Amino acid sequence: MKRRQFIKKAGAAGAGIIAIPHLVPMFNRSGANDQVVIAIAGIHSRGAQLADEFASIPGCEIRALVDVDNRYFDAVSEKVTQLQGSKPLHLTDYRKALDDKDIDAIVIATPDHWHAPMAIEAVKAGKHVYVEKPCSHNPYEGELLVEAFRKYRKLIQMGNQRRSMKVCQQMVQEIGEGVIGNVYLARTWYTNNRMPIGFGKVVPVPEYLDYELWQGPAPRMPYRDNIHPYNWHWFWHWGTGEALNNGTHEIDVARWALGVTYPLMVTSLGGRFHYVGEDDWECPDTQMITYEFQNKKMITWEGRSCNSYDLSGEGRGVILHGTKGSIVFLSDKYKVYDAENKLIRDVKAETQPGTDPTNTRDPGLGAAHTLNFIEAVRGREQLNSPVDEGQKSILLCQLGNISLRTGSTLYINQDTGYVMENAEAERLWRRDYEPGWKPKV
């Protein structure tokens, strides 16, 4: 679809159509009909945690686990079986889950290049979707995903879990009520201590991996020994770098708190600074992004993948500055300071026994978000992060990467979010696809 056609359709739809699918009840009776049957695609790492979360929700059944790497089935299947009392199917090809009429929803925790194509096919097949961030590999896929959400009227929740955290919701509400006055600057960051990944060697595809299906929509490349299962994050062909791997969370909170959408300008600097010449990591390990919005508001993001020196005592967070004070938000808590930097409130989340929401890999952090999705499928709640809202934050991160890769400041159309008068940036708006795999709404 051409851009002006997409804009015209989206504009004509308006805010009303966005709200309609959020509250459409899927089930009309209580009891057995409240059962929600799902499949989880991508069960390594984050997918395994999502399996724990969904299997722990009463009335939610994981009917199938889907992965192209058969090494992960046994451990995840055993845990799911313990939690729900029935063993899930093991599927290599996600299309079998789409064909299963008993499955109501697909949970997607695959590599980034699969997020939008798989989600689009899922809603076309009549399934609801929970898709992990970043939900799209590039801005063009984000457009398609939002179009599919509106066209097929199936729920699509993005996995930016802070949208369902009560402490974060409370903070945003307080900001809206003026607790620190007019908020004009949000500083966000993420740090880690990732090791070099070496130089990948072309080797035979392991017998446990369906590499053809792993590549899916991405143009074909020989299998290398330092890509799967995690380091694909650092190659533009499949991944999106740290800005979308982790920066999505804090940048989303900042955009939410400031009440902004499209920036006026985006500037990013950085690169592979820490392990120069020691591996074939392509994305930046050190990156700064600056966003300027209308009404004199700014967001900054600092990403350090290979230097874990903390800011404000934690490796990730958001600091919000306003005309009457500041707020420091750190994962599951926030502190409010007045204009003289005096602490006036210290708010901490209430947690369930045995969970540690300060640990982003603990199921406790995302449990409210997955529950919100299931309750929305049942028609009892609205989605806390429908994809048409979540993709706005993802676009910020994608624009940061485009600015970095082109070495230019991007000027953004305020009505559409598109880059203006920058041919090189335009070329990075979308990707090439393997013939026959281009996503279509």
d(CA 414, CA 410): 12
pLDDT of residue 380: 96
Q: State the sign of the Cα–Cα–Cα–Cα dihedral 329, 257, 109, 34.
A: positive
Strands 316-322, 297-304: parallel, antiparallel or unpaired by DSSP? unpaired
Taking the mean position of all CA atoms in its chain, how far away is CA 175? 24
The contacts of residue 375 (CB under 8 Å, 6+ apart) are 381
In what side-by-side order are the strands of the sheet with 156-159?
Answer: 89-91, 60-66, 36-41, 105-108, 128-132, 156-159
**What pLDDT, on the 0 to 100 scale, is given for residue 4?**
39
Residue ranges covered by each domain of the chain: 3-161, 164-200+210-355+386-427
pLDDT at res. 28? 38
Structure tokens at 362: 């603990």
Task: Give the Cα separation of 76 and 81 in Å (integer).
Answer: 9
Which pLDDT belongs to residue 356? 41
Q: pTM score, two decimals?
A: 0.91
Q: What is the pLDDT of residue 365?
A: 60
Residue 172 CB neighbour total at 10 angstroms: 18
Fold of 164-200+210-355+386-427: Dihydrodipicolinate Reductase; domain 2 (3.30.360)
Give the 3-state secondary structure of residue 222: coil
| CATH architecture of residue range(s) 3-161 | 3-Layer(aba) Sandwich (3.40)
Which residue type sits at 119?
A
pLDDT, block means (10 residues), the chain with 441 residues: 38 32 42 83 96 97 98 98 97 98 98 98 98 98 98 98 96 98 98 98 98 98 98 98 98 98 98 97 98 97 97 96 98 95 91 40 69 97 97 98 98 96 97 97 98
